[in-house]
Amino acid sequence: MDDYEPESWLIGAEFEQPTQTDLHTDRAHPARVYDYLLGGKTNFPADRAVGDRVLADWPGARAATAAARSVMHRMVHRLAATHGVRQFLDVGTGIPTAPNLHEVVQRVDPACRVVYVDNDPIVLAHSRALLSSAPEGRTAYVEGDLRDPEKFLADPAVAATLDLTRPVALTLINLVHFLSDEAAHPPVRALLDALPAGSFLALTAGTTDAAPERIRQGSRRYAEAGMEVHARPRDGVERFFAGLELDDPGVVLINQWHPELGDGPAPTEETPAYGGIGRKP
């Protein structure tokens, strides 16, 4: 479930490539820095420059990024296999990286449906061309930003893919630490309010509670490239789950979140991010 194939999704793919002007490739983007740290190829010199500075300060950043990807696999697998969720709204999708969210949940039930949302044009181009569903299910890609949930919820592709009268898992993986509390909490609450009872929130967020100096150094590197990072203490991450019923084991460091659900050996090093799942009553 956690195997990483950085280039396999490109083989045989045909799609219209946005221009570099459209992509603003002179500026780093979190999704493309993340891709670089995962060992992917869909990134540009500005993204690699940030990644290299982070790695110079913290050689373990690649392993931490892989851990952030792995916990997403474990979370959505548990949502589908244990909680019976069959609909997923993934905001801040990032560059396609096998296995993608829909591939994980459609292994549980091929009828699962997934809407991917991201604000980066290169993610939009690759995802629309390459994130193909199992025949029994459906995937859709919507251009959108977490800070404007009403806009992407109104996209016809959302209504065509998800039944918002039935439970949906909202997944916000490795995203909210790029937003302040003032910017992040209102849209997250708006999204949860738009989903019916029985829906779930799966969220991860960077923290300074573990490896604080590494996070501070990494945050400085991102800030130098115009990307603010807002790492939070545990109670700051728990605030996103206010009013929700926390799933076992609560909000914990991501290497401690159901490591038994991963395919490989359980991670031993603390990863400076918290994660959890909550159910809307």
Mean pLDDT, residues 84-88 taken together: 99
**CA separation for the pair 115, 191 (Å, rounded):** 14
Asked whether residue 36 is assigned to any structural domain, the reply reads no
Number of domains the chain is built from: 1
**CA separation for the pair 180, 164 (Å, rounded):** 28
Asked whether residue 13 is assigned to any structural domain, the reply reads no
As a whole-number percent, the residues of the chain with pLDDT over 70 amount to 87
**CA-to-CA dists, residue 106 to 33, 75, 230, angstroms:** 28, 14, 33
pTM of the model: 0.89
Asked whether residue 157 is assigned to any structural domain, the reply reads yes
Asked whether residue 225 is assigned to any structural domain, the reply reads no
106-127 pLDDT, tens digit per residue, is: 999 999 999 999 998 877 776 6
**CA-to-CA dists, residue 18 to 12, 29, 67, 121, 123, angstroms:** 18, 15, 30, 7, 10
Asked whether residue 256 is assigned to any structural domain, the reply reads yes
Asked whether residue 75 is assigned to any structural domain, the reply reads yes
Asked whether residue 185 is assigned to any structural domain, the reply reads yes
CATH no. for residue 87? Answer: 3.40.50.150
pLDDT at 14: 34
pLDDT higher than threshold 50 for residue 83: yes
Note down the domain range covering 202: 68-210+231-279
